[in-house]
Structure formats: C-alpha cells, structure tokens
C-alpha cells in the first residue's frame, strides 16, 4: 500500500518538497490485536486440555452406564449405554455417600473456625507494635503449610500411635490413661488437627498481609483517643481485613469439601477410617477399586456442584449482610 504524499509549502528561495505521511497498514494493526492472544495461548491450551476437557468428559460419563449381556464375556458383552439421571439418583441415595457428607460437615465445623481463628490471632499478634522476632515467628507458623499433606499425615500418624509416640510414654510416666486418637469418633479430631496445623500458616499470611496495608495514621489517631491495643484490633484491624477473612473462609470451605490426602494416608493406621470416610474417598474407591467410572463421575459432579453452591451462597450471604449494614 502506497502512502499518500503531501507537498510542503515553498519557502523563500527554496522549491516545494514532497513529503510522505506514515500510515499504519492493516497487517500491523492485525498483529497488534493478535499479540495478546499469542501470550494467552499456552494458558488457554493447558486450561482446555487439563481442566475443561476432563470436566466435560466426567459430566459425559455421569450420564452413561455399562450394560452387561449374558455372563459379560466375549466381544460386545459389555456395552456403554445412556443412563440418564440414574447414576445421580443412586449416588444421592447411597447411605455410604450420605454418611461421608455428614462426616465432612462435622469435619468442616471443627476445622474452619479453629483454623481461621488461630490465623487471625497470630496475624494480630505479629502486627502488634510490641511483638518481637516477627520474621522468625511468621516463618515458623507458615512452615507447616509447606509440608505436603501426605508427609504431615504420616508424621502426625506416628505421633498418634501409642506404641511409637513419645507423647504416650510421657502419659504413662504421669499415670494418665489417654485413649488413642485412632479409636472411634476421636479419629475425627486426629484428621482435623492435621488440617489445622497445615492450613493456619497460609491463612495467617493472607490476613497479616492485609494488616500491613492499613495506614499507620489510623492507629495513631486511635491511640490519641485513648484506645487500647485490644480496641484497636477489634474495632479497626478486624473490620478492615474482613474481606481477607471472607476470602480465606471460602478457600477453607472448598478445601474441606475436597479433603482426601489426610484420611487416606491415615487409613492403614486406623480401623475407624473406612474407604468411604469422605466423599472423595468414595469416588476413588468406586473408580479405581470397583471399576465403576460412571457412578464415580456422577458423585464427583455432585461434589463439584455442592462446592460451587456452598461457596457462592456464602459469598452472597456475606454481601447481602454487608449491603444491609451500609443501608
């Protein structure tokens, strides 16, 4: 494409000179529009291949089932047919699945408030002006989060076993008859303790980062008005970092519904943990032990929908209350 030309006005003693005006061709503007998509392409490809397609395939399998003809032997004896909502009906009516949902609900009631409460207290203590060795304390509290869930479960599992735990040697020396946490309903607290130990540090860092962003002028003004450190924490710090607390609450609820590594790792050490102790453990058993991929897919879709509904509902509830208070 040729560029249009303009003629510069002639000056005294000089002839007029033709100059070219630079214009942007369609190829250059097209490359500029495609450049962002070029940078996003790897992430989009990975998202589609390893997240979107597996989810779509799981939803597809949840509506299918296997039809067995005769003894199920030979070619064509097992065929995949349309099942409709029968897999979902079977999953929702399964007593083992309902029992696992109840255990996870109780587990969440123990873990989420305890973990977030400790994270908030630690963050407020580290942000206090009289605190010392904040760098060491922050690292020490956050360090358990860096330990993989399988390793932390093994570490705590051997600490729970009366035969190898040093704690039970101390209890025996003191004459205390302390039952094993692997017995009966106490195993719930054994699993919850591992989650609290590992997740408190991450939530503390999130809340502590939000506290460091608060202007110091607010604290100085409150101290001039005679407010104590407790009043500053409860009336200034906590309301300001409330969005961070809400965010960590949503993350904690999602992690609670997806608990799998801790009870699966502890199961060989305790008879109180079954193969369907949590919903995800039931999905794993159905898919890889019984070979029923269709039922496992339906159960996994139910868990995903429940996670979305619970998280979205919690956010809407918090937003509605905040909007009502503003009015």
- The residues of the chain that CATH labels 1.10.3720.10 are 88-326
3-state secondary structure of 146: helix
Residue 14 has pLDDT above 90, yes or no: no
pLDDT at residue number 227:
82
Residue 49 has pLDDT above 60, yes or no: yes
Q: In this structure, what DSSP letter does residue 35 have?
A: H
d(CA 264, CA 182): 13
pLDDT tens sequence across 112-158: 999 999 999 999 999 887 777 788 888 999 999 999 999 999 999 99
C-alpha distance from residue 258 to each of 170, 252, 261 (Å)? 35, 10, 9
d(CA 255, CA 253): 5
pLDDT tens sequence across 101-123: 999 999 999 999 999 999 999 99
> What percentage of the chain's residues is helix, strand, coil (to nearest 5)?
70, 5, 25
Of the pLDDT bands very low, low, confident and very high (cuts 50, 70, 90), residue 80 is confident
Of the pLDDT bands very low, low, confident and very high (cuts 50, 70, 90), residue 77 is low
> What class does CATH assign to 88-326?
mainly alpha
Instruction: Specify which residues 68 forms β-bridges with.
Output: 78
pTM to 2 decimals? 0.83
Strands 18-20, 64-68: pairing is unpaired
3-state secondary structure of 15: coil
pLDDT at residue number 2:
47
d(CA 304, CA 261): 18
């Amino acid at each position: 494409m040729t560029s249009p030309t303009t003629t510069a006005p002639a000056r005294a003693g000089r002839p007029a000179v033709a100059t070219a005006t630079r214009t942007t061709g369609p190829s250059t503007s097209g490359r500029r529009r495609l450049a962002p998509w070029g940078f996003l392409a790897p992430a989009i490809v990975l998202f589609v291949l390893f997240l979107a397609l597996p989810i779509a395939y799981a939803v597809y399998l949840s509506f299918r089932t296997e039809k067995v003809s005769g003894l199920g032997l030979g070619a064509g004896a097992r065929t995949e047919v349309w099942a409709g909502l029968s897999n979902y009906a079977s999953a929702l009516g399964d007593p083992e699945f309902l029992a696992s949902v109840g255990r996870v609900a109780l587990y969440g009631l123990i873990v989420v408030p305890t973990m977030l409460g400790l994270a908030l207290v630690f963050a407020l203590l580290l942000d206090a002006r009289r605190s010392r060795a904040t760098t060491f304390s922050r690292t020490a509290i956050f360090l358990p989060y860096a330990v993989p869930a399988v390793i932390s479960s093994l570490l705590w599992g051997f600490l729970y076993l009366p035969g190898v735990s040093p704690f039970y040697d101390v209890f025996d020396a003191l004459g205390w008859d302390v039952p094993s946490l692997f017995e009966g309903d106490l195993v719930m607290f054994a699993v919850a303790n591992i989650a609290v130990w590992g997740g408190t540090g991450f939530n503390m860092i999130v809340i502590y980062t939000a506290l460091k962003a608060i202007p110091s002028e607010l604290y100085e003004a409150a101290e001039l008005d005679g407010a104590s450190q407790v009043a500053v924490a409860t009336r200034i710090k906590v309301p300001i970092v409330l969005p961070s607390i809400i965010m960590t609450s949503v993350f904690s609820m999602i992690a609670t519904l997806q608990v799998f590594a801790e009870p699966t790792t502890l199961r060989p050490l305790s008879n109180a943990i079954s193969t369907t102790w949590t919903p995800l453990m039931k999905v794993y058993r159905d898919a890889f032990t019984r070979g029923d991929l269709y039922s496992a897919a339906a159960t996994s879709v139910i868990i995903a929908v429940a996670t979305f509904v619970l998280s979205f509902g919690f956010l809407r509830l918090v937003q509605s209350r905040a909007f009502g208070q503003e009015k």
